[in-house]
Each structure stands twice: as structure tokens, then as C-alpha cells.
Structure 1
Amino acid sequence: MRIAEAVPSDETVAAPDPTPSDLTTRARLRDAAVECFAAEGFGASVRTIAARAGVSAGLIRHHFGSKDALRAECDEAVLERHRSLKTVGLESPANAMAQLAEADEHGAMLVYILRSVQDGSAAGRAFIEHLIDDAVAYSERAVADGMLRPSLDPVGRARLMVTQSVGGLVVMLSMHPEIELTDFKTVLAKTFEQIALPSIELYTYGVFADESYLNQYLDYLKESS
């Protein structure tokens, strides 16, 4: 995958503060960019994004100034959508499932997250760290609400859950090369089909029948410290 390219310096200008009338256009351009980055990776050009949005490349530069700034705003939008979906999922699993099943944008969000992992750039790594920070926050809220069990290592648990979820997505899609990443609906449906039930079961009941393995490991940590 190509690393995100910078817009040539002679095309990079400072983005002006958006006026109220610009906000809808700015959001439409951002959403088109999210879909392009998901479909093609972060090497997708400004012209490709503009074509998807049905505007000129100059309008994107007018609103965002540079491709890096556009990507940063896309990152924040995807993180906010993911954060909202997770919050709804903890409060009402049935509503979250309905949202996932009906909204194509969640497929684009899923592939965007995958692209961020594959990107390998500082921006991609920062995006994953934001996912982990969000997971810590909503997990701790769920613990306080009595929906999740407390953890001996809340940050470590959140990091494990995020990295395993994203890593599992990478492996699953690599096992199905017939699925085009541009087909957001199929990516979402296949992911749901393969991981929803086993994930929920695992998080609900766990795997070990008792605490002996955990206790042995905790004893080992005490002895080795």
C-alpha cells in the first residue's frame, strides 16, 4: 500500500475557517474522502476524492488546505462514529446490531480502520492508539455502570481487545481474497457472520472454567518481581 501522499506545495494553502453555509459541503467532502481512503488506501489522490464527491480538487483545497489535514479530519470522523457505535452497543446491543446491518457507512468505517493498520505511517499508528484510548474510556464507563467486569489491567485489556479485533479482521479478510475491500456491504456482512456470535459468547462466558490459570500466573508475577 502506498503511504499517504502530500499535496504538492504549490497546491497547499491554509484552509479558511468554515462559514455555516460551508459546513454541509465540508462534511460531504470529508465523507467522500473516508470512502476513497477505505476503497483505495491513503494513496488515493485529491482528484479521486474530488471526483467521488462531484466537485473540483480546488474545492477540497479550499476547505482543508492539504491532504494531511483532510485525512486528520477523516480520522476524527471515523473515530467518532466508532465511539458512538460502541457506546450504543454497550447500552443497547440490539440497536447496535440494527445499525450495523442497515448502514453501509459502517462497512466503510471498518475498512478505513483496516487501512489505518496496514498504512504503517505515524498517522496510522496514532489512529489505532486513539481507538485504544476510546476503548479504555467506554470500558471504564461500562464497568461503573455494572455492564462489564472490572479488570486487573484496564488499559491492557482495552489494548488487547482492540488489537485482537483489528488483527482478526486482517486475518479474516486475507482468508477471503474474493471479497473486494471496495464492497463495503459484503465486508461488513462477512465480518458480522463470522465474528459476532463467537465474540459475544467469548466476552459473556469467557473460556476457562475456573480461575486456576489466572491465579498461577499472578503467583508467577509475584515470584518474578
Structure 2
Amino acid sequence: MEFTPSAEERILRAALQRFAVDGLSAPLRAVAQDAGVSAGLIIHHYGSREHLLEVCDRRALEVTHETKLETFTGGSGVMLAQLAEVERYAPVIGYVLRRLQAGGPLAQQLVTDFVRDAADYLEQGVQAGLVSPSRDPEARARVLTEMALGALLLQLPAQRDHLDLADLPTWIRSYTDALLLPMLELFTTPLLQDSTLLDAYRGAAASGEQAPTTTEGTTS
């Protein structure tokens, strides 16, 4: 028997898609039409646009946490299964693009939440023996999160006022195909041949030295 989503769930899914397509200021009546409900029912379930956006944020975090945790604890089989259906994540990824594009305190909070979740699923990956331990797990989680979100934000779809929802899954597929191989290579085969730079930096930090700078004030 096929599961029929509740009105509340249909609204949430429609909101993720509509905000991805038209931005966070998309009319709620458009969300209602997409969900097959009245605009009043959105207010009944979510109270306001701001609360609906907060729930969209939570769903984006939940989906990201679930998929990353499965990858970092389940290994290559799970990763390949997720890649086979990457298009289904298009509305969530499109929504995150829009949230980052809008900027402001809520976008900053979303990034902070992503970092916290990344630290959690990376640690579980460490416990599963699939991820190397870190000297500073929280800092590593922040760098990886900012790299991933920054790469998304630089892509063409984030620069448009309107996204074609039909084209978004195709873009997600091409983006993933272009990014995944070099990223996996970077994470699997270290970029640097040895630890000389790391050792020098840690040694300078331990002795209280500062990195030398040029006359222009940049690191030499």
C-alpha cells in the first residue's frame, strides 16, 4: 500500500521546492498550490513564513545528516546507492543554495548547525574505522562544511533569480559527477607528499612564533 503524505508533509516538500525555484520570498500561495492545499492551511500548520523556513532548515539538516552518516558508516556500497539517486536531493540542495544566497543571521545559523552535524557524523565515521581521527575534530568539520557549501554557492544556479525545477536535478547530477572524483582523490590520497608544512606550522605555534610576513603584510 502506497504511503500518502500528510498535508503538513506535502506543504514542507512543496516549500523546499518552491523556495529553491523562486527564492525564500516566493509567495506562500504558490507553495499552497504546489502542495494542493489552501494558503490558510499553511498558516494553520506553520503559523508564518519564518517558521516554515525554520522547518525547511531542519529538514535540510536532517537529510544531510542522514545521508552523510550512512556514507561515513556504511562505506562504498551506500555511497554508490546514494549516487544512483542523487537527483532526489535536488530540492533540498536548491533550498540550501537559496538560504546561503540570502545571507543574514539565519544563514549563519544554518552553517553553524551543518558544522555541528558534520562533527557528529565524522566522529561516527572515525568510530566505524572509515574516517581518520583529527587533531581538532570541530575545526576539521568547519573547514569541510565551508568548503562544501562554498562550492555550492559558487555554482551558476545560485546566481539566478529563478531556477527551473525540471533542470535542477540535471544540474545536481552534473555537479556531483564533476566534483566527486577530485574530492575523493583529495581525501583519499593526501595532496602533500609529507608532513613538512604541518610539522613546521605546529612547531611555530608551539613556540609562540608568528608566521613571517612580507612588507605588504601577507604571509611570505
TM-score, normalised relative to structure 2: 0.84
- Which stretches in structure 2 are left out of the alignment for 5+ residues? 210-220
Look up the SS of the partner of 1:151 in the other structure.
Answer: coil
Alignment partner of 2:98 out of 115, 119, 122: 115
Look up the SS of the partner of 2:109 in the other structure.
Answer: helix
What is the CA-CA distance between 1:204 and the residue it aligns to?
Answer: 0.9
- Which position in structure 1 is the counterpart of 2:33? 51
Counting matched residue pairs gives 203
What is the CA-CA distance between 1:95 and the residue it aligns to?
Answer: 2.5
Residue 179 of structure 2 is aligned to residue 195 of structure 1: yes
CA contact (8 A) 1:29 1:60 kept: yes
Q: 2:13 is matched by which residue type in structure 1? A: D
What is the CA-CA distance between 1:174 and the residue it aligns to?
Answer: 6.8
How many percent identity over aligned positions?
Answer: 31
Q: 2:56 is matched by which residue type in structure 1? A: C
CA distance in 1, matches of 2:28, 2:158: 31
Q: 1:224 is matched by which residue type in structure 2? A: G
CA contact (8 A) 1:132 1:162 kept: yes
Residue 112 of structure 2 is aligned to residue 144 of structure 1: no
- Which stretches in structure 1 are left out of the alignment for 5+ residues? 1-22
CA distance in 2, matches of 1:104, 1:25: 24
CA contact (8 A) 1:100 1:106 kept: no
CA contact (8 A) 2:16 2:56 kept: yes
Look up the SS of the partner of 1:104 in the other structure.
Answer: helix
CA distance in 2, matches of 1:191, 1:97: 16
Alignment partner of 2:6 out of 4, 14, 24: 24
CA contact (8 A) 1:111 1:181 kept: no
Over aligned residue pairs, what C-alpha RMSD do you find? 2.3
